[in-house]
Amino acid sequence: MSCNPLNLIMNPSSISIVGASNNFRTMGTIQFLNLANCGYAGALLPVHPNEKEVLGKKAYGHISDLPYAPDLAVLVVPTRLVPEMMEDFGRLGTRHMVVITAGFKETGDEGLELEQKIGEIADTYGIRFLGPNCLGIINSHLPLNITVGPLQALNGKLSLASQSGTYIAQTVYYLHKNGIVLNKAISVGNEANIDIVDCLEYLAADETTKAIGLYIEGIRNAGRFLDVARQVSRVKPIVAQYVGGTEAGARSGSSHTGAMAGPDYIYDGLFEQAGIIRVDTIEEVYKIGWALATQPPLKGRKIAILTNSGGPGSGIATTCNTNGLEVPEFSERIQQEVGKYLPGHASARNPVDLTFHINMDALTEKIPEILFASDEIDGIIIHGIMDTGFIGLLYPYLKNYLDMTQEDFNKMSEISMEPLLKMPGTYDKPLLISSFFGREDHCIRVFHENGIPTFDSPEKTAKAMAALYRHHLITQRSSNDHEYMKRPIVSEAQSILSQARSRTIDEYNAKKLLSLYGVQTTAESLARTLDQALDLARAIGYPVAAKVNSPEIAHKTEKGMVYLNIADDDDLKKAFLSITASNNTSVLISEMLKGEREFMAGISRHRGFPPCIMFGMGGVFTEVLNDFSIRMAPLSLYDAQEMIDSISAKEIIGPYRNMKPVNRDSLAHILIALSQIALDFPDIQEIDLNPIIIDTGRPVVADALIIMK
Amino acid sequence: MSCNPLNLIMNPSSISIVGASNNFRTMGTIQFLNLANCGYAGALLPVHPNEKEVLGKKAYGHISDLPYAPDLAVLVVPTRLVPEMMEDFGRLGTRHMVVITAGFKETGDEGLELEQKIGEIADTYGIRFLGPNCLGIINSHLPLNITVGPLQALNGKLSLASQSGTYIAQTVYYLHKNGIVLNKAISVGNEANIDIVDCLEYLAADETTKAIGLYIEGIRNAGRFLDVARQVSRVKPIVAQYVGGTEAGARSGSSHTGAMAGPDYIYDGLFEQAGIIRVDTIEEVYKIGWALATQPPLKGRKIAILTNSGGPGSGIATTCNTNGLEVPEFSERIQQEVGKYLPGHASARNPVDLTFHINMDALTEKIPEILFASDEIDGIIIHGIMDTGFIGLLYPYLKNYLDMTQEDFNKMSEISMEPLLKMPGTYDKPLLISSFFGREDHCIRVFHENGIPTFDSPEKTAKAMAALYRHHLITQRSSNDHEYMKRPIVSEAQSILSQARSRTIDEYNAKKLLSLYGVQTTAESLARTLDQALDLARAIGYPVAAKVNSPEIAHKTEKGMVYLNIADDDDLKKAFLSITASNNTSVLISEMLKGEREFMAGISRHRGFPPCIMFGMGGVFTEVLNDFSIRMAPLSLYDAQEMIDSISAKEIIGPYRNMKPVNRDSLAHILIALSQIALDFPDIQEIDLNPIIIDTGRPVVADALIIMK
């Protein structure tokens, strides 16, 4: 990945900026103000037509006046000037740029044209650039800050790539208040040249980046995103928010960066398959990202909760449970050890509740030591550690009774937490802190300085712990190798498709194609005449099904063109005559399967995405039950198995009541076959297998529809 | 409600406290410190055996030394002293107390006994008390504060009742940072005498309380809670968190206040029926509660979003959509009006995105005025209003270039927001603010001072707006009158139950009982002999079902004791002989219904709750689909209709595909009948109607099980 353009963009030794002046009311000036004061050690070369100096740095009248080609050029200029200036930098020899300027694709056709134009200019000169319509970059390790918000701390561990500039440029102080320090942060803007997948690759390779946060309005190339993310996520946690999955979210995104959104369920599948931890808020991108970046992995589900109060303990406990974590009652031994430090009426069962009669030493050292050392638990959450934040509030009252300045009073109140700070590292277990106090409390500041995440609500702390476990599970995933099928069958399948006389392939031929890929379908044949139908039915054995077999007739059930459970010759005769009365068509005579469980599977295509494979509850209520999972082709066997396990009603796949367990391998094979078919035939728009009936454990496709593009 | 003991507890004219001293390391002293300094205007009478004065107030050596009976006594003393002191106060004539002391029911049997003892003492003297094991009370209007945290502001609008003291006593500063001012706050502790329902009644009647927040670990008397809450919620919003619905949450609660928890789904039903807005975090109790307390009602779904940044706009937009709100694209006219204030590349469609080229005037006045005045929208969310919080961060850099103190610089940066602050009142529409800045920003402080809620994340702002709409819907509910049925049938039903020879009532008799209550069941009769069976089948008409009819045989389907779709005499003979081969029992011969849709309904009982009525998806997959709603008896017609509409798969109730719409009145009648049966027969432990088959629109109970206590 040494050719990733971000290597240089994030680590330039010289930067030229056009659009900064000495007028602090312009954005370019504020960005340069931050750049010039952030501690950046490289050369700064502002360009300005009139000013001799900009913020005390020598300014150059024109790009062509620059003494050498800077590693990085930053443009914060009127839209119409961008193409020319990009050419100027190109001629000079600069190969990396950040285009802050907006007014391109996000504004409509004219802007799109201009964006294409600067793309062409960049290609001509071999320039790689971020933006346009972005808000800059941060590298707190260099340091380097080309955003409107001043850096509050250096050497962070969480890196971000964002399709909203605000989340890079405008939240630095918010993050500081929450103890979060960014490492690298990249506002990608319209992604005309460098996209969010480039960022992901760059951050994956960046050693000081311990976790990656993404804010996404729409992914352009989901296939490449998936390929990269699924490799990265096995070693480095990725947490992402996607906002384009609703009508209003999609509209907002397209106004904003011209992002191409897709339905929420597609992104659910994409993120699941990629091993990305999906969250619903930007707060979670930051805070859960920070927990992932700073804490040892949570290697099991068992969480200890230690508090000075029952309410937060209950909130943490119940949120752990609802997010798949356990809060096991401690063994007698641990309860006894912990009990030594508790007042008489407090509980040592887990949550441990010290009650308000606080022994701070017990809360910050003695009990944590017991819990960290115990093999009964995998991670620890503590609520209630506090000193100056709480006690400082009382000072205005206390000063009437004490002879002490607020400073001395606070100093006296500060507690030591050295032993606790070391425990996560020593025992290789995560520690998360819940507190209603912020940096006004000395303990919180100490936690922040030592990279222990703090959360201002009990429930958020528990949700972050659950994300740590989710990451652990992702790292444990078995091989993700794609299961490509042997393909002597392609030409035979092609000939079936070629014979089709309409966009829709009839059921008989659709099933024949599936059979070629090893998918089990109902035993059946076509009858042109009643005699053929009777012969077929007798051969298959009653009861049988009779259905119209015409690509032109959709919704055949609703149209009365499907007869099920036909018991004998008489009934078959009636069915055949009824179907053929109004249609000059052949009739499909199929075996009639008995099975209480019905599933569905299919292929759908979405712009910008690899073929999507679906699996879910089938039958007549498929849409209403809305219980399905989705993954992108090519599927690995692991993907297919996970799809099966992802539906809510998965219990019925096992031995359910008196039913035989579903043959999971056969079910997974159907999904892998669909993946292969989707890759083999890009002209197939959609496949719908519904129902797949479970016949004493064996999944059999009872109806199939293929629609060509 | 003038007799509610909280009227005096929250508004005492004199207070005695036992347990405060001049040692600031004790909780009692800190509570008295806050009480003595909060601005409370009544008399304070500390009791202390040794000190002459406590925090400068004359102290009395013993309760009996007090010059008169104080309105309120507060105990923060060792557990063993509580009974005696309660008696002392009782003798003196004090009738209201707050018992902070812990060590009662929550610690086990001994503590429970002691709690019962103080309950008896209280009854003897007519004392009403909060606690034990609570953390005090706040009345910011009196003012009065008997907690460990100093009041930060007065005259709040949101009142709380909490089963965790922390959420009353330890979050005042957290709330202050978030601009939230409590009105009344009550820590209920173990609820030995006054319970959370008393609090709800008190707060409902309190005029200055505009919204009520509840933190719940377990409700003792759900019936009374429901009766009170459903009346209150129609006029005053109630928001509640319940944490006892998981294994760990229930354990934590019982360690904490000895609360009696129940399954989460029961509380879901209880809250729905009571019109309570359920939230998952204490943060939401506070912040959503504050929005409900301060803002005009949101009378429709249509939300306008105005931001200075696309990311937060998208986050708000998508969260609005996923929470049932609309973000409609504005009309051409509004877009044109709004567009006047936008830079060229910004969007006026909704969200309105000013982009970072901020015209603060547009964000705080011009565009809001257009949006508030428009009948296209019902509520407004703004993100990005800021001044000193953002600009102040730059001062450390700017001071090198400017000749100005930070104070002057901040002063200069402050913007005016007078017009915006008036708009919610003027237009009777809610305004919510999203900002990554807190009180370090002057704008945020102004919003706080003017009761405009601010949220530190875009998505939270949208969720709060959705809660405002939820409240509006609750106020629009039609009459909640219970539908009591006429009851000449009770004695007949009683005789069916009396004849039962086991805890389980057989299917035939169960259905007979249901029929008495007007529930449609399958046409059927019992056959003792094969000949009877054949006669019955012919009378009913083939196909029929034959089932064992024995209260002793559960899971009859799994045991092969149910034959469906019997087509003729031959098959019936086989079925009859098979069923009777191993059982000397009668056989139920029933009509065989055709129907693709199957529902279930039932009665279950849970300790502390009225009878629970369930409705959901039926058939063999009921447990797996897990799609049901629950309400408490007595059901109103509205309750029953809402239960039907609450299941996820409700779409299949309407005309679904080619199916006839389900007769909703008949379905609702089944639920009301169950409610009535549950009330008429307290000895019925459980009723299970599954499946209820929809026979061309008509719901018919095809199987029924009644289990007695």
Cβ contact (<8 Å) for A353 and B246? no
In this predicted structure, which of A13-27, A270-284, A471-485, B256-270 has the lowest mean pLDDT? A471-485
DSSP string, A345-381: T-B-SSSEE--SS--HHIIIIIHHHHHHH-TT-SEEE
End-to-end CA distance of chain B: 37
**Rounded average pLDDT over B371-379:** 98
Amino acid sitting at position B608: G
A207 touches chain B (CB under 8 A): no
Distances, alpha carbon B679 to alpha carbons A493, B398, B603, in Å: 65, 74, 11
CA distance B498 to chain A (A): 33
Contact residues for B68 (Cβ-Cβ < 8 A; gap 6+): B14
Nearest neighbour of A280 by CB, restricted to B163, B166, B459: B459
Mean pLDDT of chain B: 94
Cβ contact (<8 Å) for A345 and B107? yes
Cβ contact (<8 Å) for B657 and A353? no
For residue A343, is pLDDT > 90?
no
Chain B residues lying within 8 Å of A21, measured CB to CB: none
**Rounded average pLDDT over A114-119:** 97
CB B593 within 8 A of CB B638: no
Are A6-292 and A295-475 in the same CATH fold?
yes
Q: What percent of chain A has pLDDT over 70?
A: 97
Per-residue pLDDT band at B338 (split at 50, 70, 90): very high
More confident residue, B30 or A552: B30
Other C-beta atoms lying within 10 Å of the C-beta of residue A403 = 6
**Rounded average pLDDT over A28-42:** 96
**Rounded average pLDDT over B335-362:** 86
- Nearest chain B residue to A281, by CA: B459
- pLDDT given for residue A2 in this prediction: 52
- Nearest chain A residue to B624, by CA: A649
Rounded CA separation B680/A520 (Å):
55
Helix A664-680 crosses helix A637-646 at what angle (to 10 degrees)? 120
Per-residue pLDDT band at A664 (split at 50, 70, 90): very high
**Rounded average pLDDT over A496-512:** 91
Residues within 8 A of B (CB atoms), A 42-61 only: 55-56
User: pLDDT tens digits, residue range A194-233?
Assistant: 999 999 999 999 999 999 999 999 999 999 999 999 999 9
CA distance B173 to chain A (A): 8
- pLDDT given for residue B1 in this prediction: 42
Per-residue pLDDT band at A123 (split at 50, 70, 90): very high
Rounded CA separation B342/B347 (Å):
8
**CATH topology classification for B523-592:** Dna Ligase; domain 1 (3.30.1490)
Per-residue pLDDT band at B487 (split at 50, 70, 90): low
Rounded CA separation A496/A494 (Å):
5
Chain A residues lying within 8 Å of B265, measured CB to CB: none
For residue B179, is pLDDT > 90?
yes
B99 touches chain A (CB under 8 A): no
For residue B694, is pLDDT > 50?
yes
CA distance A174 to chain B (A): 6
User: pLDDT tens digits, residue range A505-539?
Assistant: 999 999 999 999 999 999 999 999 999 999 999 99
Other C-beta atoms lying within 10 Å of the C-beta of residue A93 = 12
As given in the structure block, the two tokens for residue A533 are: 């139908």
Chain A residues lying within 8 Å of B281, measured CB to CB: 315, 319, 457-460
For residue A1, is pLDDT > 50?
no
In this predicted structure, which of A525-534, B29-38, B650-659 has the lowest mean pLDDT? B650-659
Cβ contact (<8 Å) for B166 and A326? no
CA distance B474 to chain A (A): 25
Could you tell me how many residues make up chain B? Answer: 709
Cβ contact (<8 Å) for B309 and A648? no
Chain A residues lying within 8 Å of B169, measured CB to CB: 356
CB B99 within 8 A of CB B129: yes
**Rounded average pLDDT over A454-474:** 98
For residue B259, is pLDDT > 70?
no
CB B380 within 8 A of CB B374: no
**Cis before A70 (ω within 30):** no
Would you tell me which CATH number, out of the four given (3.30.1490.20, 3.40.50.1000, 3.40.50.10490, 1.10.3720.10), belongs to the domain A490-591?
3.30.1490.20
For residue B437, is pLDDT > 90?
yes
As given in the structure block, the two tokens for residue B545 are: 């079902």
DSSP string, B267-297: HHHHHHHHT-EEESSHHHHHHHHHHHHHSPP
CA distance B81 to chain A (A): 15
A439 touches chain B (CB under 8 A): no
A355 touches chain B (CB under 8 A): yes
Cβ contact (<8 Å) for B344 and A393? no
**Rounded average pLDDT over A600-624:** 93
DSSP string, A155-223: --SEEEEESSTHHHHS-HHHHHHTT--EEEEEE-TT-SSS-HHHHHHHHHH-TT--EEEEEES--S-HH
- pLDDT given for residue B233 in this prediction: 96
Residues within 8 A of B (CB atoms), A 570-599 only: 596
CA distance A594 to chain B (A): 14
Per-residue pLDDT band at B343 (split at 50, 70, 90): confident
User: pLDDT tens digits, residue range A616-626?
Assistant: 999 888 888 89
**Rounded average pLDDT over B83-96:** 98
A560 touches chain B (CB under 8 A): no
Cβ contact (<8 Å) for B22 and A401? yes
What letters, b where the CB count within 10 A reaches 16 and e where it falls short, cover B122-140? beebebbbbbbbbbbbbbb
Cβ contact (<8 Å) for A309 and B249? no
Q: What is the CATH number of domain A295-475?
A: 3.40.50.261
What residues does each domain of chain B span? Answer: 6-292, 295-475, 523-592, 598-708
Q: How many CA atoms within 13 Å lie on the side-chain side of B101? A: 26
- pLDDT given for residue B218 in this prediction: 94
For residue B91, is pLDDT > 50?
yes
User: pLDDT tens digits, residue range B386-411?
Assistant: 999 999 999 999 998 888 999 999 99
Cβ contact (<8 Å) for B321 and A246? yes
* Count of pairs with CB atoms under 8 A, one residue in A, one in B: 323
Q: Are strands A72-75 and A14-18 parallel, antiparallel or unpaired?
A: parallel
Predicted ipTM?
0.96
A473 touches chain B (CB under 8 A): no
Q: What is the pTM of this model?
A: 0.96
- Nearest chain B residue to A24, by CA: B398
User: pLDDT tens digits, residue range B530-548?
Assistant: 999 999 999 999 999 999 9
Chain B residues lying within 8 Å of A626, measured CB to CB: 648
- pLDDT given for residue B507 in this prediction: 93
As given in the structure block, the two tokens for residue A159 are: 């890196």
Cβ contact (<8 Å) for A457 and B281? yes
User: pLDDT tens digits, residue range B560-596?
Assistant: 889 998 999 999 999 999 999 887 889 999 999 988 8
CATH 3.90.550.10 for domain A598-708: no
Of B316, B417, B418, B327, nearest in space to B371 by CA: B327
Dihedral class, residue B66 (left if φ above 0, else alpha if ψ from -120 to 50, else beta)? beta
User: pLDDT tens digits, residue range B265-312?
Assistant: 999 999 999 999 999 999 999 999 999 999 999 999 999 999 998 999
Cβ contact (<8 Å) for A314 and B217? yes
User: pLDDT tens digits, residue range A360-371?
Assistant: 899 999 999 999
User: pLDDT tens digits, residue range B183-233?
Assistant: 999 999 999 999 999 999 999 999 999 999 999 999 999 999 999 999 999
Residues within 8 A of B (CB atoms), A 243-282 only: 243-249, 251-253, 255-257, 280-282
**CATH topology classification for B6-292:** Rossmann fold (3.40.50)
B321 touches chain A (CB under 8 A): yes
Chain A residues lying within 8 Å of B311, measured CB to CB: 162-167, 215, 217, 243, 256, 282
